[in-house]
């Protein structure tokens, strides 16, 4: 019984890091995580294969595949003009629903996500060495919240302020199944991934090594 109802139920309570920024540890079940990982492998195969985007001529250490709209610094297009010119996959209806559930969760209001219709997702894969420097998500024309889901190895996430990449910031460990939402006054906060902790992916999450992060967004674009 001690193991079944162990202290781990208490260990990772949800936390509001700033106005509009909420972390919900362990939001996705292992079955949900494994199902999403299976979808990830399908997306990574194409029509636009997963690739490292280039920022000012340098490949990012993270590899990205997009849904709905294709992102490259600092623009969204329907076709992956910097990869193979193919149109990206449609944004899946199940992911719209998941985004709405995420907002309902963080707002504490069952209808809190009803108006949320994300139309792009950046699906990132991190190996042991991958990082993401401090940045703002600001290639979208909409300031609707960003919904972030993590699967696989735990990683150190730095959540900063809206003024600069520097302090004050908070470092948290995003683990497999964690939800993080940033919107409202936190929508343009700088953030990044400092480090992946190898070998920390839980059994059954569908990913033996590395980390997947999905960020759903509203581009505010038409066409
Ligand atoms: O991997 C993460 O948790 C964050 C990813 C991110 O900031 C992005 O894709 O813009
Ligand atoms: Fe980001």
For a pocket test of ligand 1, which of 40, 74, 182, 191 has the largest count of ligand atoms closer than 8 A to its C-beta? Answer: 191
Report the pocket of ligand 1 as residue ranges, CB < 6 Å: 122, 124, 132, 137, 148, 150, 157, 174, 191, 193, 213, 215
Q: What is the mean pLDDT of residues 81-102?
A: 98
Distance 5 CA to ligand 1 centre (A): 33
Residue 1 has pLDDT above 80, yes or no: no
Domains of the chain: 17-217 (2.60.120.590)
Q: Which atom of ligand 1 is nearest to the CA of 137?
A: 10
Ligand closest in space to the Cα of 135: 2
Going by DSSP bridges, is the β-strand pair 211-217/58-59 parallel, antiparallel, or unpaired?
A: unpaired
CA separation, residue 220 to residues 49, 61, 115, 190, 204 (Å): 25, 28, 13, 20, 36
Q: What pTM, to 2 d.p., does this model score?
A: 0.96
ipTM: 0.99
Q: What is the mean pLDDT of residues 65-92?
A: 98
Q: Which atom of ligand 1 is nearest to the CA of 122?
A: 9
The pLDDT value recorded for residue 4 is 78
Q: What is the mean pLDDT of residues 137-144?
A: 98
Digit-coded pLDDT (tens) for 11-53:
788 999 999 999 999 999 999 999 999 999 999 999 999 999 9
Residue 143 has pLDDT above 80, yes or no: yes
Mean pLDDT of the chain: 96
Rounded Cα distance between 152 and 180, Å, is 15
What does DSSP assign to residue 150?
Answer: E
Ligand closest in space to the Cα of 64: 1
């Amino acid at each position: 019984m001690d193991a079944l109802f162990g202290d781990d139920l208490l260990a990772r309570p949800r936390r509001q890091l700033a106005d509009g920024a909420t972390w919900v540890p362990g939001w996705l079940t292992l079955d949900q995580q494994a199902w999403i990982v299976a979808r990830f492998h399908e997306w990574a195969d194409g029509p636009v294969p997963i690739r490292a985007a280039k920022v000012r001529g340098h490949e990012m250490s993270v590899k990205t595949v997009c849904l709905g709209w294709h992102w490259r610094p600092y623009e969204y297009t329907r076709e992956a003009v910097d990869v193979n010119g193919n149109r990206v996959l449609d944004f899946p209806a199940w992911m719209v629903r998941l985004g709405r559930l995420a907002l309902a969760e963080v707002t504490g209001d069952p209808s809190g996500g009803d108006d949320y219709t994300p139309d792009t997702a950046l699906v990132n894969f991190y190996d042991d060495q991958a990082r993401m420097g401090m940045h703002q998500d600001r290639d979208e024309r909409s300031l609707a919240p960003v919904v972030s889901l993590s699967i696989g190895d735990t990683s150190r996430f730095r959540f900063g302020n809206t003024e600069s990449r520097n302090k004050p910031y908070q470092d948290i460990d995003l683990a497999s199944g964690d939800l993080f939402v940033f919107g409202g006054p936190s929508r343009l906060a700088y953030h990044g991934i400092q480090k992946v902790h190898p070998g920390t992916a839980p059994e059954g999450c569908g990913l033996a090594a590395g980390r997947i992060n999905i960020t759903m967004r509203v581009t505010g674009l038409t066409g």
